Amino acid sequence: MKNLTRIYRIMIRHYGYLIAGLFFMLGYALFSGASITMAVPFFDYVFPSVKGEIIYTDLPQFIEAVREATLTFVRAESLGSLLNINNLRPLLEDYGLIMEQTDSMLVLKIVAGLVLIIVFIKNLFFFFNRLMFANLNGKTTVDIRNMIFRNYLRQSLRFFTKHRVGDSLVRMVSDVEIVSHLFITSMFNAIRDFLLVLVFARIAIFLNMRLFLISLVVLPLTTFLVATVGKKIKKYARRIQSQFSNLYSGVEEVLSNMKIVKAFGREDEQFSVFSRINRQFFKFWRKAEIYSGFNVPISEMNGAITGVIILLIGGAEVIGGTSNFTFGEFTAFLFAIFSMLHPIKSISKTYNDVKKALVSLDRISEVMFNEPDLLEAKDAVNKEGFNDKIEFNRVSFSYEIPLTGESSEELPRKEVLREISFTINKGETVAIVGSSGAGKTTLVNLLLRLYDVNEGEILIDGIPLKKIKIKDLRDLFGIVTQESLIFSDTVANNIRFGTRKEVSPEDIKKAAEIAYAAEFIENLPDQYDEMLHSKGGTLSGGQKQRLCIARAVVGDPPVLIFDEATSSLDTEAEKKVQVAIEQATRSRTVLIIAHRLSTVLSADKILVLDEGGIVGIGRHAELLESCPRYRILYELQFNI
């Protein structure tokens, strides 16, 4: 209920559409009721068995008589009494007397005209009701998706180690669609149907209360059956959405890694995995559909039994003449009762659909209202430049190990860094080396505050990272990662992505020249306006990496980070990228994470990491003498 309240708070922002939709909904219900009451004059006064003296033979006479009767009634009654339908009987009897004294053909024409007018107005209200709620649904859906995506962007990388990309997409697309459709569109349709039931029920009670009460005998049984079916549907809906996430995640992973799948000939194996998940999805879906299929038969049988009871009892009253229940009133009563059946059936279907949607509501609420574990301090300060040094002070960090099928907060942890302490002075080039898994990239992630440290602290110019506004902190760094991440956008926009500042085309070209990327960009058909394919598929590895260097330097950040920026390149491409790095790092503070020692031999300071701890700090020559681990790495790489 708490999550549902939150969704409706989002919806209420668009209260204009809500109020207008409710107004048109009420109008539709009232005119729907009015349309079935036309059966009374049609059967009782157009085709009467006995017709009295004809007084009114033309429309003006008829209208004048109706006007006089109405004014006389209104003058005799108080305003409050007019709101009670039972107090309207004297007026309706006067209308009946007027129609008895009116030519039958004229009554037929009047009734036919009123039916057309009422049906037209009713459908006009219906159209605007749908239009208002379509806008309400659409705008609320936009808000929900925006909130979910914004919350995804607020999360630390820790969050994404526990949630697969495919599952995140299912929550944003499928789950949001289900929630918005059922808790907004279908829920308000159910309210509209409920209003129709109330209007039709009130008409039926007005016409014959005893017969209406008899018709309610079957309703409790139907309600019980619908509730039982709803529980089953909710259970299978949860399984369906979970399996849908598995299906989506599997497809996303395979398509993203198609090169590896094909390279190792795993197409058949991956198809088998997909086919198994798809079959399981179908089984859950089929069971949910089977239970949903009970709705219509239950409602139809309810309608048939109710209808037969009313026909037998009400028909006997009309035929036997044992009451004042006229044929026209009986016909209108039948219309009212049978008109109730469809809205009741729709309400029961909505009830079962809501059971299904509660699962999706829980899934999107887990993300939409999940507070990020990485928060900006309330007293965070602005930091517009780097003046002195970066300090790591006894920093320790451990990852949570995600478990398949687990969503528990208490996950086992793996220690990655322990008791890390070192300093990066302004203007220095500091290199971090070590074997894979030693924690090199984790140090960078902590410096960028993509994660928060578990123990210790990191300071920039004496200010703890947690005390610096996150956007200001990130503006201090330009980063080039091992994987060349390129967006499906123009070359210029890919470079511009590296800074939040306004940059001119000249700034972009200058960044490209610093990164030695201008030479290949200017050979592209549209140069800086060239649209790049997904992941930069039309560029070579070296070209993509030089584009990433241009992106890193375009905002002129005071600190540059190169996270194994050349490790995946061939020798020729590595040389070009290395030249670009040397050009980009002039007069800057630089942090280089390197697997190849040849790229860091001239660094001012080299940190040697091993199993999460620092085992050596110094220049290349010093470490060869003092650090056995560095010496082993050096000898292995240079075949000494």
Better pLDDT: 281 or 441: 441
Alpha carbons 171 and 152: distance in angstroms, whole number: 11
Q: Give bridge partners of residue 398 from the DSSP assignment.
A: 415
Q: Beta 463-464 vs 559-563: how paired, if at all?
A: unpaired
Separation between Cα atoms, residue 58 and residue 53, nearest integer Å:
15
pLDDT at 238 over 70: no
Residue 535 pLDDT greater than 60, yes or no: yes
pLDDT digits (tens, 9 = 90+) for 153-173: 777 777 776 666 667 777 777
pTM, full prediction: 0.64
Higher pLDDT residue, 238 or 478? Answer: 478
Give dist(CA 310, CA 334) in Å, integer: 8
C-alpha–C-alpha distance, residues 526 and 504, integer Å: 18
Q: What is the band of 204 on the pLDDT scale with cuts at 50, 70, 90?
A: confident
The beta strand positions in 477-588, using DSSP E, are 477-480, 559-563
pLDDT tens-digit map of 14-46? 888 889 988 998 888 888 887 777 776 666 666
Question: Taking all residues of the chain, what is their mean pLDDT, rounded to a whole number?
Answer: 76
Q: Report CA dihedral (421, 425, 427, 428) to the nearest 10 degrees.
A: -40
Q: Does residue 397 or residue 344 have the better pLDDT?
A: 397
Integer Cα distance of 202 and 221 in angstroms: 22
411 has a pLDDT exceeding 50: yes
State the average pLDDT over residues 586-604: 78
* Mean pLDDT score, 64-91: 73
Q: Return the structure tokens found at 448.
A: 């960028």
- The model's confidence at residue 531, banded by pLDDT at 50, 70 and 90, is confident
Burial of 169 (0-12, 13-18, 19+ CB in 10 A): middle
Decide if 425 contacts 389 (C-beta within 8 A): yes
Q: How far is CA 150 from CA 70, 253, 486, 532, in A?
A: 60, 23, 21, 26
In this predicted structure, the answer to whether residue 307 has a pLDDT above a threshold of 50 is yes
